[in-house]
Amino acid sequence: MADAAGGLPADALRAGCAAYHPKAAARGAKNRAAGPTMEAANFDKIARGVLGPLLAPLGFDFRCGAFLRDLDTRVRHLVMLDYDGRRKRYTVLLGLHSSVLDLTASEEPGAYVTKRANQRPLPAHDVASATTSLETTRVLMEKFGLSWLDRCSTLAQLAVLMPDQYDLMKGRLFLEAGDRQAARHWLAHYRARLDTMQGGPEIGAAIRETESLLTKC
């Protein structure tokens, strides 16, 4: 049964993770631009006003439609507000990421491990509905969201949560965390997978990079 606030119950929020590649953040940016710019900007302003008093004192900054918190361990916590400018609604995604995984510089926040914090999109047709929905989001964050994020504070914990299809990313995280055995396992898994792909300059570069990482395990 869903929580009265419209989100997931505690056990469902804590169970399992999904993948949300950083490049997918561009989809959120596109959605935000789909509606009038002023409306998207107004939604951001309301979000900062409603959620900022809760999240800012905990170290979160607001950027590109998301609240971000960078830990000293190089783990990043995100509260992403995926605003749909056409339908005038938004979805809340809790995210985990790390600078260890940044292959290229990006202005858009994204995460490799996410948890959808609401079962269905929340309405944001106007100031009143957006404020009400964001107040619901604040309650959800207080009850479950922040505790879900706080469960991951180290690179090793992030590596465990990382979906298995991101074997290279898991290997890099374990290597940075100092777990060479786990790093070797996942990097070797990725190296074997490269052999099944069609050759080319990119595959060759990936093989050389992976073999270099394996020498560090």
Written in H, E and C, the secondary structure of the chain is CCCCCCECCHHHHHCCCECCCHHHHHHHHHHHHHCCHHHHHHHHHHHHHHHHHHHHHHCCEEECCEEEEECCCCEEEEEEEEEECCCCEEEEEEEEEEHHHCCCCCCCCCCCEEEECECCCEECCCHHHHHHHHHHHHHHHHHHHHHHHHCCCCHHHHHHHCCCCCHHHHHHHHHHHCCHHHHHHHHHHHHHHHCCCCCCHHHHHHHHHHHHHHCCC
Residue at a domain's end among 112, 128, 153: 153
Does position 6 have pLDDT exceeding 80, yes or no?
Answer: no
Does the model's pTM come out above 0.75?
A: yes
Number of domains in the chain: 2
Q: Is residue 193 part of a domain?
A: yes
Q: Is residue 5 part of a domain?
A: no
Average pLDDT over residues 143-156: 95
Confidence class for position 2, pLDDT limits 50, 70, 90: very low
Does position 24 have pLDDT exceeding 60, yes or no?
Answer: no
Q: Is residue 138 part of a domain?
A: yes
pLDDT value, residue 190: 94
Residue at a domain's end among 126, 153, 180: 153
Top-confidence residue, 105 or 61:
61
Does position 8 have pLDDT exceeding 50, yes or no?
Answer: no
Residue at a domain's end among 134, 153, 172: 153
The chain-wide mean pLDDT, for the chain, equals: 82
Does position 177 have pLDDT exceeding 90, yes or no?
Answer: yes
76 and 180 housed in the same domain:
no
Residue 101: give the domain boundaries.
10-153
Does position 149 have pLDDT exceeding 90, yes or no?
Answer: yes
148 and 55 housed in the same domain:
yes
Does position 71 have pLDDT exceeding 80, yes or no?
Answer: yes
77 and 184 housed in the same domain:
no
Q: Is residue 159 part of a domain?
A: no
Top-confidence residue, 103 or 52:
52
29 and 108 housed in the same domain:
yes
147 and 80 housed in the same domain:
yes
Q: Is residue 158 part of a domain?
A: no
